[in-house]
Amino acid sequence: MCGLAGFILQGPKLATDLASLNHKMISQIMHRGPDDLGVWSDDALGIGLSHSRLAIQDCSSAGSQPMHSESNRYVIVFNGEIYNHFELRKEILKESIIRTSWRGRSDTETLLASFEAWGVQETLLRCVGMFAFALIDKQNQTLFLGRDRFGEKPLYYGFVGENFIFGSELKALKAFPGFDCSISKEALSNFIKLSYIPTPQSIYKDIFKLEAGHFIKININNFSRSSVYNNPYWSIEESMASSSQKPYLTEEEGLHDLEKNLSNAVTSQLISDVPIGAFLSGGIDSSLLTSIMQKNSMSKIKTFTIGFDESLYDESPYAKNVSDYLGTDHFCLRVTPEDALNLIPDLPLIYDEPFADSSQIPTYFVSKAAREFVSVSLSGDGADELFGGYNRYTWGPSIWGKSSYLPFFSKEIFANLLTLLTPQALNSILGFTNIVRPGEKVHKLSNALKGARTIDDLYINLISQWHDDEIVSSLQNISLDQQREKFNIPTNCDIQDARLQMMYRDSKTYLPDDILCKVDRAAMALSLETRAPFLDHRVAESAWRLSMSSKIKGTETKWALKQLLYKHIPKKLLDRPKTGFSIPIGTWLRGPLKEWAETLLNERRLACEGNFNPLPIRQAWKQHLSGRYDLSSKLWNVLMFQAWLEDVSYTHLRA
């Protein structure tokens, strides 16, 4: 795993040499690759590439970047892993398209040879992996930027004046002279509702995220803002449609094929010249991956989890039970409120732009635990979106199906009735159920139903934290149809099953912009590479070929994965409610984090900054402090923006 940055100068030349500019940009993201630094530039063309390296495969100098192809036509900076790169080498030799002699064992060298053999788009279709790259074709004077199918690795790009810039993180782009830090109000509006900023937006005007499964091609000598656009080489829509047209004939066939593809994905991702381990929460996804890893290992694999004093959020006993059964070498890091308080000031620096999934905190700490012993860790990300793991996939369509026949005003009355009792009271009444924090879920359902005229509206409400348009002035009087467009939520999918629609939309938006962003930034801040076997596109194709009843059977989610897991681990060790990777942020905001939060949510401060209407925020804060409501998710969005704004302002003053 690595970091990359670069630029194409156009218009007035900067008063600096290109090598210095390269160093200035890449030095901001050396945490992504502390093992080596490399730069390349062409003064005549006004272009530069820079790279910070975390050596995983071929740790010798033969893997250093920027790397030139054997013919010297191409030069590349690359972030990620190509898991099938040795197979690609065999294909190149077999097809005899080009003559090549290998200098080393790195996948970057394989990628360059593949570009020479097959071109950019065909190479990307043949690759199995996670990646972002910048490629210069010196012969045709062209720049290519590319990103993997699901968006595991980040890549930002945009303009400063007439100059084109790009990099793995915004830190690198902000180091470019004259960078405009103007906030995109549209991105802020989206963030405050979603907890993340959806692709292609970033928090800054004129700076964008490259879409997953896309590449950009730029003529170095003649380009403009209007000529830079994303070209798809792979899409979830087409792959899902193609796979669903080839359904498995039987459930048994589907499970067998899924097991084969997942096992192949895990074993292919164990390739590494440095120590490798796995995150283990004791849940379905991580336990299944760990089981396959341990089965294919001659020695104990290392597994990592974290624990809390608050038992409701503490998954460490479950992880230990699974570890003991599988015989892994297990490590648990205990996390205290003080640990979180000490980390919070660093979150704006880690994430570069506002990001408010509070599981960013435990993700950082489990990455910290792993980095003490390994350089690479496997994670279970993507399983929920592909195999129906989120609770909203079951009770959302179910509730809608039961209420859809009601007139709109009746649904509104029903939604209001659900919140007559506080979440705290409902938790006591519904304590007999097997649901974690049922009161909060009832209130979430109420908010989801309000204003929802279609199942699409229900989905928008389910994924939104703030439903009151007055919090950000630019959100006033925006319909749910307009919100779908603003949030980059796909609406052109021809999918009849409401559950599959939600899974598809989450795979397009929530997965890359929240889940994968969260893991990449937290882990790379500690120079840890993470890999997600469930996001091997062949595993995804297996998931889309499965019938919905093989993914969600009744109210049981991820049924197919559980059947595979029960071959390795007894069911009794795994039967527990799904909790998610969460922390007791609500309790902490009333305790050790209260003073910090009060400072950021000060009414006068909010009014002076002018980004939010203070009244609904102050009301939510008071309700949360009363203990009768848990509004931590809504408040965390505002707090993370406020903390980010404070950090940006402080950094600007220092500069």
Contact assessment for residue 421 and residue 547, using Cβ atoms and an 8 Å cutoff:
no
Query: What is the distance between the alpha carbons of residues 652 and 503, in angstroms, rounded to a whole number?
Result: 41
Contact assessment for residue 42 and residue 72, using Cβ atoms and an 8 Å cutoff:
no
Query: What is the distance between the alpha carbons of residues 571 and 135, in angstroms, rounded to a whole number?
Result: 48
Report the candidate in 547, 558, 511 with the shortest Cα–Cα distance to residue 532.
511
**b/e 429-441 (16+ beta carbons within 10 angstroms → b):** eeeeeebbbbbbb
DSSP 410: H
The answer, yes or no, to whether the previous bond of 275 is cis (omega within 30 of 0) is: no
DSSP H helices in 487-578: 498-505, 517-524, 537-545, 548-551, 559-565
Residue 439 CB partners (closer than 8 Å, separation 6+): 421, 422, 423, 424, 425, 426, 427, 430
For residue 343, what are its two tokens?
A: 């980390």
Identify the helix (H) or strand (E) that includes residue 530: strand 529-531
- Give all strands (DSSP E) within 23-104, no chain letters: 36-42, 47-53, 67-68, 74-82
| Site of tokens 């890549």 | 155
For residue 89, what are its two tokens?
A: 């080498």
Whether 127 is catalytic is: no
Catalytic residue (one of 2, 127, 332, 517): 2
For residue 204, what are its two tokens?
A: 């800054």
Beta-sheet pairing, 376-378 with 529-531: parallel
Query: What is the distance between the alpha carbons of residues 348 and 371, in angstroms, rounded to a whole number?
Result: 21
| Site of tokens 């449609």 | 241
Contact assessment for residue 2 and residue 65, using Cβ atoms and an 8 Å cutoff:
yes
Query: What is the distance between the alpha carbons of residues 624 and 622, in angstroms, rounded to a whole number?
Result: 5
Residue 546 CB partners (closer than 8 Å, separation 6+): 247, 248, 254, 258, 560
Query: What is the distance between the alpha carbons of residues 259 and 262, in angstroms, rounded to a whole number?
Result: 5
Contact assessment for residue 122 and residue 59, using Cβ atoms and an 8 Å cutoff:
no
What is the DSSP track for 142-211?
EEEEEE-SS--S--EEEEETTEEEEESSHHHHHTSTT----B-HHHHHHHHHHSSPPTTB-SBTTEEEPP
- Please identify every residue annotated as catalytic: 2
